[in-house]
Amino acid sequence: GLPIFKVKTRHISGLIEVELAKHIADKTNWRTLLKGDGEPIELQDRFAELLPLVQDKIAEIKQQFGEDAIEVLSETITDLSYPVQQHPTKITSHN
> Is residue 28 a part of any domain in this protein?
yes
> Is residue 91 a part of any domain in this protein?
no
Per-residue pLDDT in tens (0 to 9) along the chain, 95 residues: 888 999 999 999 999 999 999 998 777 777 777 777 667 788 899 999 999 999 999 999 999 999 999 999 988 888 877 777 777 777 777 76
> Is residue 66 a part of any domain in this protein?
yes
What per-residue confidence (pLDDT) applies to 92?
77
> Is residue 94 a part of any domain in this protein?
no
> Is residue 86 a part of any domain in this protein?
no
What per-residue confidence (pLDDT) applies to 71?
96
pTM across the whole model: 0.73
In this structure, which amino acid lies at residue 82? Answer: Y
CA atoms within 13 A on the CB side of 52: 4
Q: How many domains does the chain have?
A: 1
What per-residue confidence (pLDDT) applies to 79?
80
> Is residue 34 a part of any domain in this protein?
yes
> Is residue 26 a part of any domain in this protein?
yes
What per-residue confidence (pLDDT) applies to 38?
67
Domain range for residue 63?
5-72
